[in-house]
Structure 1
Amino acid sequence: MAGTVAMVEVWRGGMAESRHRGHAVICDAAGAVVESWGDPGAVILPRSSVKMIQALPLVESGAADAAGLGPEDLALACASHEGAPVHVTRVAAWLQGLGLSEADLRCGAQPTRDPAERKRMLIAGEAPCQLHNNCSGKHAGFLTLARHLGAGPDYVDPGHPVQRAVRAAFEDVTGQASPRFGIDGCSAPNFATTMHGLARAMAFFAGARADAGDARSRAAARLVEAMRTFPELVAGEGRACTELMRAMGGSVAVKTGAEGVFVAILPDRGLGVAVKIEDGATRASEAAITGLLVRLGVLDPAHPAARRRLGDPIRNWRGIETGEIRLAPGFA
């Protein structure tokens, strides 16, 4: 990936053992680049970091209100959850309220990432289902919108009215025509954009207000508020999104995406942040977004959630300190 810069380093034995390179962009509410590292024009697939964009048509169309969805449901629509009971039961209830079931989802079955639930299911001999998929809330949102539009059941088809609505919203808030798309792990299309476009979209969400005159801005504000109010539904216990949002007292919404993507929405500052790690490493994207949130003054570097991603020593299986993860010189 051309134009990347060193962002995160792993040190051991007094030397940098590994370096992760990537891009990062901070945008203001007007869409202007406030600060950047690497290439703001680099085109990426944002993966699950843009679930709040994919949920915009659900809310602005009136489908969410028509289905009686609450803020917990909207948080799940933006979630990459761990398939814990709190996630699975809520998505199941959502579908039941639509007169639908797990079989109507198109995301595929995925093992739960919740340790206690995984153990229980193994003992009980239960197989995971699509409700356990980290994207089941997003897909419940797609089904809700499809029902509202009177569209067919294959809502993940790129030509389906649901995905056409998602693409239109995506291109509007990024300010760019998407040059291509890839098929995500949950089978839905994932539209590409530039780093600047992704940060611009997050800044749009940061500037959105519940009393705005346009439906898209009001919808964005509702989704951000849902994420900040219910961080445990956006990811789950022990997960970076949940822990970092709690650490910031719900003042900031953050969302991870596969292959080293992480975004942040700062409503009080009107800023949007986007990070992409070239090699796709989660440890690096979590460290990078932590460093940027600290730099922006919204995250206490001494908070355990921050130190877990950036600052705490790396220890081996005997508990011996062996190294640390640091930000690269010149980044954040």
Structure 2
Amino acid sequence: MIAGNVSPSAASPGYGRSNRGRTLWLAAIVAAVVALCALSLAIGTRDVTWSEVLAALRGHVDSIGEAAVAMRMPRTLLALFAGAALGLSGAVMQGVTRNPLADPGILGVNTGAALAVVIGVAWFGMTSAHAYIWTAILGAGCTAAFVYTIGSLGRSGVTPLKLTLAGAATSVAFASLVIAVVLPRNDIAGGIRSWQIGGVGGATFERIAEVLPFLLAGLVLGLGSARKLNSLALGDDLAAGLGERVALARGIASLAAILLCGATTAVCGPIGFVGLVVPHVCRLLVGVDHRWLLPFSALAGAILLLAGDIVGRLAARPSELEVGIVTAFVGAPFFIWIVRRQRVREL
């Protein structure tokens, strides 16, 4: 189940970074997460003071500003959790497939989860939040298996290029199916189209509480797969020789990515490119050791989604752009750069 032969030493110029340098970067990234959370609470259609932010954090909602901050709290938390989930899932997918272009959006996993949810809503009248989550996870899992099967056809087996093309074709086909399912249903079309863009607006603590167990399960499985992904990076034969159960290791890591992608898509809609951009940037900072790369990818994913949400609020005030649009503006050029840098003929 390997999609290429990228050695650890060749995968990133950040290989072999010192632990001291990584620790400094970790402190900087944590500080950036805290700062962006504060800005997310303070910035919106209504300007608030820092005293109102602090008062709202203490539970006060006496003024309009404090009430505005209280309404932004779940949105900020959702952006934090969803960004971390997407960043981590992208790093895990790239580790499992050894494919530098692996990403929940590019491989069609997000679109598969979205299609499953749309079918559930349109054909089966699905309304329960837990049903949304389980259906999205099932759709993500089935799509991942389908894309891998298509990408493995042929004599050469799975390659990064074949996997990427299979994912892109699947994503386009499933997006068309979503439109076909929604078109006859004017009663749900508006809500589905808005959800399809991908965003964190309208978040509530209740929605976060419903999806949080799935995100935590994916987080634990993903971070726990770090050593196994380091072994898989050496190749299946060498990993097996070191005592690694290759199929089980890849299965657990894949399950983590599917849980994270499916749960995030259920609550936010399909948000693309976070899982592509973040791991590549983190490799430049901390190298290819997954024990460092995975937690850094989670934190950096939170940074990207928080920053994207803030930019979306500022770019179209008093209205706003959904964060899925902002990440597309960032990720699409990055994807082109990665393809050119990796020289797609050699993938």
- TM-score normalised by L of structure 2: 0.29
Q: Which has the higher helix share?
A: 2
- TM-score normalised by L of structure 1: 0.30
